[in-house]
Amino acid sequence: AAMTEQVSYSGPQRIFSGIQPTGNLHLGNYLGALKKFADLQDAGWEGIYCVVDLHAITMPQPKGALADQTRQIAAAMMAAGLDPDTSTIFVQSSVRAHTELTWIFNCVARMGWLEKMTQFKDKSGKDAERASVGLFDYPVLQAADILVYKATHVPVGEDQKQHLELSRNVAARFNQQYDVPGFFPLPEGLIEGPGARIMSLKDGTKKMSKSDPAETSRINLIDDTDTIAKKIKKAKTDTLGDMPETVEEMAPRPEVANLVGIYAALAGMSDEQVLAEYGGKGFGTFKPALAELAVEKLSPITQKMRQLLDDPAEIDAAMAKGAEKANAVAEPIIEEVRRVVGFWQV
Ligand code: TYM
C-alpha cells in the first residue's frame, strides 16, 4: 500500500500527464488519456501535458524518428482539444529539471520497489539482464515528471496505476527522509471512467497496445474511415448469441464488454445506457453503429492532426512556448529541492 502522511500538501491543485512518442496513438490512448486531458482543461483545471521523449529512449527508436514522433504526439494533444495558451504542452527533454530530479529520486527510491513493477517485467521479457538501466529506472523518471511541478492529480489509463503508486511512495519518502513534511504532494490518479482500460479488438483479456503486432487489434488515431469501420466489423465477439441485456449478462463476455465500453466512452454514456439501446440486438446492428460513432468522434481529430502536421510551424511554436512555461514552474521547485537536499549553493 502507498505511504500516507501526517502533514498533507497544501499547495495548488495541478494536473500533470505524459504520453510517449513511440509508434501510433490508438483508441486506448485517446479514451484513457487525451480525451480526459481536454475534458479536464475545459473543466478549468491547470494542466501540464508532456511528450515524454526521455522515456521513449529507454527502448531503441528508429534512427532519426524521435523528433517526428514527438511532433505527432504534440499534434494529437492539440487536435484532441488541448489549447497551448490555456494548458502547458511541451517536450520533456526541453526541461532539464526532469533529469536532475530523477537523479535525486534515484537515491530515494528503493530497488525493491522497482523490482515489483510489472511493466518492466513485461517489457524486458525473458532477457531482463540485457534491458537498459533506463527501462528499469523508468518509473523514477515518471515520478520526477510529476513532482518537479508538484502536480497533485494525474489523468492516466489503468495500466499506469502501479507507476503512480511508486510516485506517491517516492514523494512520501523524500518528505520523510529530508524532514520536510508536506513538501511534495502525494499525487493521485484520475483513472475512473469507461475509457480507463480499452482492450484489444482481437482478445478481450489483453489491453489495446502500440506494441501488439496485429494491426487489427487496435484502432489508430490516424486510421481512415474505411479502416476504422473494417476493424470494428472484424472485431472478435463470441458465440454466446446476441447483445446482452444487462451488465451482469455481459460480465463473462470480455470482447463484447470491451466494444460496449468503447461505445460508452465515445458517446459519454454508461454501459447500462448502451445496453438499454442495443441489448438483445444482433452484432450486425451494433457494430455498424459503433463504427459510425467512432468515425464521427475520431475523424475531426485525425483531420486536425493532419492539418497541423502539414504545416508544423504552429506545433513547433506551441512547444517552444510550452517549454518556457514549464521551465518557469519547474525551476523554482528544483531550486527548493537543491536547498532541501543540502547541495552546495553557488
Ligand atoms: P503511454 O505513452 O504508454 O500511454 C499514454 C496514455 O495512454 C494510456 N493508455 C490506455 N488507456 C486506456 N486503455 C488502453 N489500452 C491504454 N493504453 C495506454 C496510458 O495509461 C497513458 O495514460 N509512462 C507513461 C507516460 C508518462 C506519464 C508520466 C504519465 C511518463 N511520465 C507522468 C503520467 C504522468 C506511458 O508510457 O504512457
| Closest ligand 1 atom to 142 CA | 31
The per-residue pLDDT for 128 is 87
> Whose CA is closest to atom 18 on ligand 1?
29
Give the bridge partners for 155, in sequence order. Answer: 190
The Å distance, Cα 36 to ligand 1 centre, comes to: 12
Is residue 123 annotated as a catalytic residue, yes or no? yes
Closest CA to 294 of 255, 258, 267: 267
The Å distance, Cα 244 to ligand 1 centre, comes to: 31
Residue 236 corresponds to which cell in the numbers above?
472478435
∠ CA 90-307-225, nearest 5°, is: 110
The per-residue pLDDT for 4 is 64
The per-residue pLDDT for 140 is 98
The per-residue pLDDT for 126 is 87
Q: Pocket of ligand 1, candidates 34, 50, 52, 218: which has the most ligand atoms within 8 Å of its Cβ, to mutate? A: 52
The per-residue pLDDT for 346 is 86
> Rounded CA gap, 319 and 345, in Å?
31
Is residue 207 annotated as a catalytic residue, yes or no? yes
Give the Å distances, CA to CA, from 320 to 57, 84, 86, 90, 313. 21, 10, 15, 7, 11
The per-residue pLDDT for 337 is 98
The per-residue pLDDT for 2 is 54
Rounded to two decimals, the pTM is: 0.96
The per-residue pLDDT for 3 is 61
> Which of the residues in the chain have pLDDT under 70?
1-4, 6
